[in-house]
């Protein structure tokens, strides 16, 4: 008997994670902050100093202070992001502005480590205020960035629920199970268990990261179900590097790609089609390739929602550290994804 599978409690969790506001650990975000602050420093000194030599000296000193202070601030915010997310908003602003002031003073102290000249109280006060103001601007940017991502996340989850487990797939799967009940009850139960697992993942929290190994298992379950319907017309080849299994990816990353391959590379063709899935660790990155043969066009033209959704969720989770590439060719269609390990 198939065990009951009620929705997990975390399936009803809020879509927007407050921790994400303070998730400043991404390379792309750090790079943007560093470039912006460096540009502001260069422009400010250019307006205040006319001599090129003096400007270069001031720029070198200012870079030591600002970059060390900024990187320290980002590092501490990244480490304390979960605790910061639980604080009232007013306290968040107070603590992070105070942290910005402290980091600015620390950067100045680093610059003057070997100097014996005392720093005036006015200079300390000015540096502290500048650090607090910079921290306030950074925090405002992080909060605005999170608010701008909310509509994209909401759309992503909506598309998942509408396009991942489509009604025609449910209908075909149930028909396959019904046909097997009389001749192979054990296999029919396995089909229903696979379908139950697909629905559990589809309705779970879309904002959490999962190991790539779980995505591989889910895609195998999906293809096992489709194998009932297409039999020898569906030819699948797997090449999975076990060392790549711990890479973190958005949930339902791989299944919609193989579903797309079945729908467009196998279903329209009387002779069926081939699907090659290769996952390989390459140093600090993991490469995922899904390649399907191309024959007749699909009976129903797709809108590319699944591919756009995958690309969007990869960008939200890994920013510039992830890559998503499509390679449409006359005889095959290839999707290549690269994520950090």
Per domain, the residue ranges of the chain are 18-150, 164-340
Q: Which class for 303: exposed (0-12), middle (13-18), buried (19 or more C-beta within 10 A)?
A: exposed
263: its two tokens: 């729908």
Give the Cα separation of 19 and 78 in Å (integer). 10
Sheet bearing 285-293, strands edge to edge: 234-240, 273-282, 285-293, 332-340, 323-328
Would you state the pLDDT for residue 147?
A: 75
Give the class (CATH, top level) of 164-340.
alpha beta
Would you state the pLDDT for residue 154?
A: 55
Phi, psi of 252 (to 5 degrees): 55, 45
Using DSSP's 3-state secondary structure scheme, residue 336 falls into strand
Would you state the pLDDT for residue 112?
A: 86
β-pair partners for 333: 292, 328
Using DSSP's 3-state secondary structure scheme, residue 80 falls into coil
Write out the chain's pLDDT in tens, 341 residues: 333 333 333 333 344 456 778 878 888 888 999 999 989 989 988 888 878 888 898 899 889 999 999 999 999 999 998 899 889 989 999 999 999 999 999 999 988 886 667 778 888 999 999 999 999 999 998 888 877 766 666 555 545 544 444 555 567 667 777 777 777 888 888 878 877 877 776 666 655 688 999 999 988 988 988 888 888 999 999 999 999 999 999 888 898 899 889 988 998 888 999 999 999 999 999 999 999 998 766 555 555 677 887 887 788 778 788 999 999 988 899 999 999 98
Would you state the pLDDT for residue 25?
A: 84
The residues near 270 (Cβ < 8 Å, ≥ 6 apart) are: 233
Would you state the pLDDT for residue 94?
A: 95
Find tokens 């090129």 and name the residue: 52
Would you state the pLDDT for residue 168?
A: 58
């Amino acid at each position: 008997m198939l065990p009951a599978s009620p929705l997990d409690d975390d399936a009803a969790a809020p879509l927007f994670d407050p921790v994400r506001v303070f998730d400043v650990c991404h390379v792309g975000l750090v790079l943007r902050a560093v470039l912006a602050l460096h540009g502001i420093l260069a422009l400010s000194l250019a307006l205040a100093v006319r001599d090129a030599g003096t400007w270069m000296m001031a720029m070198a000193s200012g870079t030591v202070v600002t970059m060390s202070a900024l990187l320290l601030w980002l590092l501490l915010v990244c480490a304390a992001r979960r605790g910061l997310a639980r604080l009232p908003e007013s306290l968040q602003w107070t603590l992070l502005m105070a942290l910005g002031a402290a980091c600015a003073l620390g950067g100045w102290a680093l610059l003057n480590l070997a100097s014996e000249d005392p720093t005036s109280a006015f200079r300390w006060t000015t540096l502290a205020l500048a650090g607090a103001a910079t921290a306030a601007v950074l925090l405002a940017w992080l909060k605005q960035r999170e608010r701008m991502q909310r509509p994209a996340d909401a759309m992503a989850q909506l598309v998942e629920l509408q396009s991942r487990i489509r009604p025609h797939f449910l209908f075909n799967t149930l028909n396959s199970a019904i046909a097997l009940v009389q001749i192979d009850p054990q296999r029919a139960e396995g089909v229903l268990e696979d379908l139950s697992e697909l629905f559990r993942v589809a309705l779970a929290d879309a904002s959490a990261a999962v190991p790539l190994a779980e995505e591989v298992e889910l895609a195998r379950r999906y293809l096992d179900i489709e194998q009932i319907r297409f039999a020898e017309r569906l030819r699948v080849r797997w090449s999975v590097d076990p060392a790549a299994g711990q890479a973190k990816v958005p949930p339902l990353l791989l299944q919609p790609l193989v579903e797309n391959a079945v729908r467009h590379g196998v279903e329209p063709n009387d002779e069926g089609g081939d699907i090659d899935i290769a996952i390989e660790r390459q140093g600090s990155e993991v490469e995922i390739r899904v390649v399907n043969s191309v024959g007749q066009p699909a009976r129903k033209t797709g809108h590319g929602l699944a591919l756009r959704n995958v690309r969007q969720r990869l960008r939200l989770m890994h920013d510039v550290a992830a890559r998503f590439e499509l390679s449409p060719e006359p005889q095959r269609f290839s999707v290549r994804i690269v994520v950090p390990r």
